[in-house]
Each structure stands twice: as C-alpha cells, then as structure tokens.
C-alpha cells in the first residue's frame, strides 16, 4: 500500500501562513491593524478562517488584541526580545543535547552544509533577512535532530517571535547583524559534533549574550565564554579526530 497523501491545509491555515510570512518579512509592519473584513475580502474567504488564523498568530505572539482596535501586529520591546531568547536558548540547549545523544555522526556533520550559506550571506553583505533565513535553517535542522516532536513544535512558535523581534531590532539598529561573530555558529556546531553538552550550553549563551548586549548594552561575559568555547572545542575536535575549523 502506498502511504496516504497528507491532508490539504485548511483555509485558516493558508490565511495564517500568508499573514505570518507578511509579518515576519516586514510587509505588514508592527502596530498595523488586521481587520477581519478586509482580510476576508483579500483572501476571498469568510470571516471564520480569518478569525481562526488571527487566533493562531496571537498564540504565536505575532498578533495582539487591543481594546477598541482589535487585532494588531505585535510591537515588541527589548524586554520581550530578552525573554524570548531566554526561552529559545533553553530549548536549543536541550535539543542539542538530545541530538548529540541520538543523531549519527553523518547527521551532525551534515549541519556544516547549513552554516556555509549563512557565512556566505555575511561575507557578501547580504540583506539581513537573507542571513537570518540561513540562521533559522541551521537552528531548525539542529533542533529537528533531537527527535522530540513536542520540543520542535514549541521551538517553531518561539522562532516566529524571535524572528519578528530581531527584524524589528535590526531596523532600529543596523549594527545588530554585526553583533554576532562570524564563527559563532561554527563554535556551536563544533561542540555538537564533539558531543560535548557543556560546550553546547556555553556556545548558545555566548551567542545570545553578544546579540542582546549589542541591542541593550555590552555583556563582557560573552567574550569570556567565546574564548572558552573556542579553546576547548578545538581541543575536543582534534581529540575526536574531526577536521578542525580554520
């Protein structure tokens, strides 16, 4: 028997996906009103699917419902960014540990292919959206190797929030894309490939402290963590007989 074809997405899922993409790309800016009647006309559907789509986006943190205004695109602060990254960091550390326990060497080393496009985007001075897309592809792949479906689902919700937050912050601060060192993801990847959970934790914390420090104030602890992970990860990489990063 051939496997059953997946069910087609419901109308509200199509509307939600379109709105999510427009919000995360900046086509619909923060603070914009999302009027059910207008959206129903635009998508050629009744208000029911639009209403359900807005509920889903509200659960993801991309939309809020305000008195007398209705649904609007979330306007998020640095405090929101800090909270979202704290949750995301915790999920990534757990996922990376599980991936280190469960994934094959081939699967872990395969993550290298996702780091290269990210570095290429930075080297070319590409649009921040392009480098962010490559960044998210790497993290999605890493989290998926955990095999933890519940964690993956929650992580996807957090990615939507952090993507909106980082894009908003990048518009306000063009230096933001320079906050993260080019080698940051290589450091994390080295630690995962070497199956060193403590180095994975240090790597994620260094990344987030550097990023959040550039938005809200310098975090010298990030530089200490950076030096530590690069020194130890290189030693572990050699011990594990894996090619060290240049």
Q: Report the Cα 180 to chain-centroid distance in Å.
A: 14
d(CA 179, CA 158): 21
Q: Which residue, 180, 170, 110, is CA-closest to 145?
A: 110
Which ranges of 173-196 would DSSP assign to H, the alpha helix? 184-193
d(CA 216, CA 78): 7
DSSP letters of 18-39? HHHHHHHHTSS-TT-B--HHHH
**Is 45 a residue whose pLDDT tops 90?**
yes
- In this prediction, residue 174 carries a pLDDT of 59
- Cβ partners under 8 Å of residue 46, min gap 6: 40
**By the 8 A CB rule, do 197 and 96 touch?**
yes
Burial class from Cβ neighbours inside 10 Å (0-12, 13-18, 19+) for residue 150 reads: exposed
Single pTM value for the model: 0.67
Q: Is the sign of the CA dihedral 220, 226, 229, 231 positive or negative?
A: negative
**By the 8 A CB rule, do 55 and 15 touch?**
no
Q: How confident is the model at residue 229 (pLDDT cuts 50, 70, 90)?
A: very low
d(CA 74, CA 209): 24
- In this prediction, residue 25 carries a pLDDT of 81
Q: What is the pLDDT of residues 52-64, one digit of tens each?
A: 999 999 988 889 9
d(CA 188, CA 186): 5
- In this prediction, residue 175 carries a pLDDT of 59
User: Looking at per-residue confidence, does 91 or 180 come out higher?
Assistant: 91
User: Looking at per-residue confidence, does 5 or 117 come out higher?
Assistant: 117
């Amino acid at each position: 028997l051939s496997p059953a074809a997946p069910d087609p997405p419901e109308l509200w899922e199509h509307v939600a996906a379109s709105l999510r993409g427009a919000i995360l790309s900046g086509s619909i800016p923060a603070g914009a009103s999302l009027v059910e009647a207008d959206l129903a006309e635009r998508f050629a559907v009744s208000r029911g699917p639009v209403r359900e789509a807005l509920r889903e986006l509200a659960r993801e943190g991309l939309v809020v419902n305000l008195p007398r205004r209705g649904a609007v695109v979330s306007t998020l602060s640095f405090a929101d960014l800090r909270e979202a990254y704290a949750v995301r960091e915790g999920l990534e550390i757990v996922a990376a540990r599980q991936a280190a326990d469960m994934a094959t060497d081939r699967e872990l080393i395969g993550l290298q292919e996702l780091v290269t496009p990210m570095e290429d985007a930075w080297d070319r001075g590409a649009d921040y959206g392009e480098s962010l897309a490559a960044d998210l592809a790497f993290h999605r792949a890493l989290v998926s190797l955990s095999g933890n479906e519940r964690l993956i689902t929650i992580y996807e919700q957090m990615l939507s929030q952090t993507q909106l937050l980082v894009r908003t912050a990048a518009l306000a601060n063009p230096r933001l894309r320079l906050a993260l060192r080019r080698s940051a993801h290589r450091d994390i990847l080295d630690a995962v490939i070497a199956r060193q959970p403590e180095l994975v934790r240090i790597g994620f914390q260094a990344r987030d402290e550097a990023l959040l420090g550039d938005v809200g104030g310098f975090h010298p602890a990030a530089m200490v963590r950076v030096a530590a992970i690069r020194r130890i990860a290189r030693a572990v990489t050699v011990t594990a007989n894996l090619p060290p990063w240049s």
